[in-house]
Amino acid sequence: MNNKEESNFGRTTKVIGCYIVLILITIICLFWFYLLFVNASRSNSELSSGGFTMLFSTHALDNWNNLVHGTLPILYGLRNSVFVAACTAILSVYFSTMTAYAIHAYDFKLKKYVYAFILAVMMIPTQVTVLGFLQLIDKMKMDDSFIPLIVPSIAAPITFFYMKQYMDSTLSISLVEAARIDGAGEFRIFNTIVFPLMKPAIAVQIIFTFVTSWNNYFVPALVLHTDKKKTLPILIAQLRSADWLKFDMGQVYMMIAFSIAPVIIVYLILSRFIVGGVSLGGVKE
């Protein structure tokens, strides 16, 4: 075997090894989802009796019927969670990208201080400000509505920080200046040039923001009181906190499996923009 054949053999071995490692990691990550769907197909008695199984049971339809026709408005919860999470993701990413563009493309005296202030806001936990937030929405007569869950999400320092870092590495100021020379307005530059260039980062942040809002329990539990306005995390907590005689672990697993489906769909839709952006960035000079 000559040196060229040895080099090709070593390269092939490394590729095979990488694929084996990636397959093992994928199996480990997806195993828990598979186990969730398995448990969602089992009855409460099967789950209570203990024991681990990799095989699906025959009670998935029963669990689903009991869940849908139970006391909790599951379908309303799905609608509410989708609405709140979608609005939060879209508004947060759009205005955070706009803020990052303003800091990136404009020079003004307080630029460094504004950037530092926005980053400092990230250090303030939600639990510290929640009392004043609840008093504010009560005075504004916005209690038990979706507005307090959506509008404050527009100011998202974490999303802004990620978009600013991505913009610093991909967006050239000369491109913006060329558009200004051609007579384009700032909103047109942002919407037609800057925003499309940020597609990979936007896709990532929409996924993260959507999942964060989807899993948010703390603030919605304090704001929403009507059963038909509650989101899925609140309904899951109510289902788990049912008294011993009404508690059904099969329904709990079925509801958790039901609640993660929209998150998976959002990821599958947006993942192609992430891959496309990485491929595009790989051929840039």
Q: In a structure prediction context, what are the per-residue pLDDT tens digits for the chain, which is 285 residues long? A: 555 655 666 678 888 888 999 999 999 988 988 988 998 898 888 888 767 788 888 888 888 888 888 788 888 999 999 999 999 999 999 999 999 988 888 888 888 888 888 888 888 887 888 888 889 898 988 888 999 999 988 888 889 988 888 888 888 888 888 888 888 888 888 888 888 888 888 888 898 899 999 999 888 998 998 888 999 999 888 887 766 666 778 888 898 888 888 888 888 888 777 665 544 444 344
Tell the burial category of 10 from Cβ atoms under 10 Å away from its Cβ (0-12, 13-18, 19+): exposed
The whole-number pLDDT of residue 275 equals 61
* Distance of alpha carbon 114 from alpha carbon 93, whole angstroms: 19
Tokens of 170: 């991909």
Amino acid at 75: L
Contact in structure between 143 and 137 (CB atoms under 8 Å): yes
The whole-number pLDDT of residue 174 equals 85
The whole-number pLDDT of residue 283 equals 38
Contact in structure between 250 and 44 (CB atoms under 8 Å): yes
The whole-number pLDDT of residue 87 equals 94
Q: What is the CA radius of gyration of the chain?
A: 24
Tokens of 112: 């460094």
Say which residue the tokens 């969602």 belong to.
Answer: 40
Domain boundaries defined on the chain: 3-60, 63-282
The whole-number pLDDT of residue 82 equals 93
* Distance of alpha carbon 189 from alpha carbon 196, whole angstroms: 10
Tokens of 99: 């803020």
Tokens of 51: 């024991």
Tokens of 260: 């993660």
Give the Cβ contact number of residue 7 at 10 Å. 10
DSSP-H helix ranges across 74-194: 74-105, 111-121, 126-139, 147-150, 157-170, 173-181, 186-189
| Cα distances (Å, whole numbers) of residue 272 to 204, 269, 275, 278, 280 | 11, 7, 5, 10, 12
Question: Looking at domain 63-282, which of 1.10.3470.10, 1.10.1040.50, 1.10.3720.10, 1.20.1250.20 is its CATH number?
Answer: 1.10.3720.10
